[in-house]
Chains A and B, each alone.
Chain A
Amino acid sequence: MSLALPSGVHFASHAEELRLLRTRPQRAALLLLFVALAVFPVVASNYLIGLAISASITLIAVVGLQITIGMAGLLNLGQSAFVGVGAFTAASLYANHGLPMLPCIVLAGLASGLVSIFFALPALRIKGLYLALTTIAAQVMFPIVVLRLPESWFGGAAGIGIDQPRLLGTAVDTPAAFYGVAVGVAALMLLLAFNLQRSHVGLVFRALRDNDIASSVLGVELGRYKIMAFFAGALFAGVAGGLYAFYIRYVTTDQFTIWLSIWYVGMLIVGGLGSPLGAVFGTLAITALQEAVHAGGTRAMNLLPALSGGTIFAMTNVLLGAAIIFMLIKEPHGLAHRWRILKTAYRIWPYPRG
């Protein structure tokens, strides 16, 4: 009577075990998910569609962080600066140089990746933990440098605006149309991350995360792979930034603060570091939390006018900070681990999970 998952474990080959979708019901479930995602913009309000677009963009950045932090074990506290590099690159290429939208987003990803290499260079000498410090450097230097670059590049303090995003000749200015682009790109990036995890490179990342000295003895070029992990994570951030630029249509440096970087890390910790699925759970959970705080905060502000928008920001910080500490102490593998336990329990029912 299996509905979604096989009962017991009976793979006949390694390739079979590596497959992302193992059974027909799983494929059906995925198809259902796609149908639900396609129907969503038809039935949902513009506010909810906007929320879904933001969540998709955030998801791409957090999935990138999962590659750097979760797969390769290198702490990155500057992800929002890399999102910013992507956003500025895309906006500048589109508004100032007239490139089409898709190449802009791809180049935004590459630009972020290249910038990240500079900050990953110390990885040749130090262990993953201390890389956190160079990524903080990236985060602090980002606005200072962007504001000083010539205005014809990134618009200086005024930022860059995008008039009307056009994709393959058609305007994508309605929420529903942009929803299609954002969710499509997010799904593609998620697939890339899942594939990276089970590829040769993903296995090397995992080896150097678990024990970098042992993996170097086994012939892994540590520096090269650490820089690759950084590059991959920042590439995702750049793509997220490119999408963000076309969605918000206005890019300035104060949209990419260290708080955003920390929120990304928080989402990943709450969701679980171990797999891209954790990024999905974390992004959804924290976005829901932010919405709850926002809704509650707006209601409270109507009652108590003394409260301000800053209070909502502060409240989000307090809750997310508490959530991070709670998860690290009680469930370091995150929500994704709970999900896995649930699946295992279902699969081996009626036996108790081991």
Chain B
Amino acid sequence: MNVLQIAIDGMLAGLVYGLVALAFVVIFRASRIVNLAQGQLVLVGAYVMGTLMSLLPLGAALAAALAASVLVGIVVERFVFRPLIGQPVFAIVMASIGLLILLQGLVQLIWGAQTRPFAQIFPEGAWRLDTLVINRRLLIGALITFAAVEALRWFFLKTRAGLRLAAVAEDHYVALSLGVSVRGATRIAWALGAFLSTVAAMILLSGNVLGLQASEIGLRALPVALLGGLESLRGALLAGLIVGLGEAFAAQYLDRLTEGAMSQIFPFLLMILVLLIRPQGLFGWKVIERL
């Protein structure tokens, strides 16, 4: 297989990670919540969408599923994170762990553990460019991801509401004393995060099989978010590309030597290296701490 083809496949796959990481970054950047339940948001979005698609025509089902994901985000904010405003970051992370198993268990209780087919949303097949083959579903996904990043950048950097969220991400108490609603910020963060997770589920699963292991994308997106910097939107995108490339090349050249292990652990080794060398990631905010 030629190098360019590997690079294209890797980057397209990496951008899906990038989109999930983007959901993670949006929640962190607007509410300072490290959301370890990111994969479960994708899972809930996917199952809700799968059920709606079997009941409604495609367009209506997608709209309803995206609306439902916003609702999920708002419910999570109201009952889990609003009572914890002002608590140490530590307690909030623990709460996201509780949310992780709560959602995973709920999905399994409601829909069962069997895998099921997921309807096709995007056109399957590939575009051919000379000898190169480009997966259509992932290419459309990549375009959506780029559009999402630019739209979010505009929201966070150019609008008043978005800039308020940055204050909340800096410090809950300071934000409150400046009259910024931490509740409102957290609600927007979770609604946006759940929305993006459902979009990611759409791209990831269109025409594929849906099962409980779909939540694993959350774990794989963690190194991506960290590499890009937890506050950086474009960073998530770039890190997705880097991780995707690394995975694809490791799969091609190193997996023969390691029986397929290298491409799977590559993102996590990279994460440990990033934390050692540049803990704030490529474009994260460097926080100066004082006594």
Q: Name A residues whose Cβ lies closer than 8 Å to a Cβ of B.
A: 73, 75, 77, 119, 121-122, 124-126, 128-130, 132-134, 136-137, 140-141, 144-145, 147-148, 211, 213-214, 217, 258-259, 262-263, 265-266, 269, 308, 310-311, 313-325, 328-329, 332
Contact = CB atoms under 8 A, between A and B. Distances in A.
B109 A318 contact: yes
B222 interface: yes
B84 A310 contact: no
B87 interface: yes
B241 interface: no
Contacts of B90: 73, 75, 128-129
Q: Is the interface of A mostly helix, strand, loop or mixed?
A: helix
A311 B109 contact: yes
Interface string B8-19: 000000000000
Nearest to A138: B268
Given A134-B271, A137-B268, A213-B290, A328 B95 contact: yes
Contact of A332 (B87, B113, B226): B87
Nearest to A214: B291
B103 interface: yes
B222 A133 contact: yes
A266 B113 contact: no
Interface in B74-118: 79-80, 83-84, 87, 89-91, 93-95, 97-106, 108-109, 112-113
B272 interface: yes
A121 to B, nearest CB: 6
A269 B113 CA distance: 28
B189 to A, nearest CB: 18
A50 to B, nearest CB: 25
A128 B93 CA distance: 11
A314 B99 contact: no
A321 B276 contact: no
A266 B97 CA distance: 8
Contacts of A126: 275, 279
Given A137-B271, A310-B112, A262 B94 contact: no
A53 to B, nearest CB: 25
Contact of B102 (A140, A217, A325): A325
B94 A269 contact: yes
A175 B258 CA distance: 41
Give chain B's interface secondary structure class.
helix
A141 B215 CA distance: 17
A169 to B, nearest CB: 41
Interface string B253-285: 000001111001100110110011101000000
Given A324-B94, A325-B80, A262 B101 contact: yes
B271 A133 contact: yes
Nearest to B275: A122
Nearest to B273: A122
B265 to A, nearest CB: 5
Contact of A133 (B103, B106, B265, B275): B275
B276 A125 contact: yes
B54 to A, nearest CB: 19
Nearest to A332: B91
Nearest to A148: B261
Given A213-B291, A317-B108, A148 B271 contact: no
28 contacts: A73-B90, A122-B276, A129-B34, A133-B222, A133-B223, A133-B271, A136-B219, A137-B223, A137-B271, A140-B265, A140-B268, A213-B289, A214-B291, A259-B101, A262-B101, A266-B98, A311-B109, A313-B105, A314-B108, A317-B104, A317-B105, A318-B105, A318-B106, A320-B98, A321-B99, A322-B102, A324-B102, A328-B84
Contacts of B26: none
Given A314-B109, A318-B106, A329-B83, A129 B291 contact: no
Given A126-B275, A145-B265, A310 B102 contact: no
Given A137-B268, A213-B290, A320 B276 contact: no
B97 A329 contact: no
A321 B84 contact: no
Contacts of A73: 90
B204 interface: no
B36 interface: yes
Nearest to A141: B265
Contact of A324 (B89, B95, B108, B289): B95
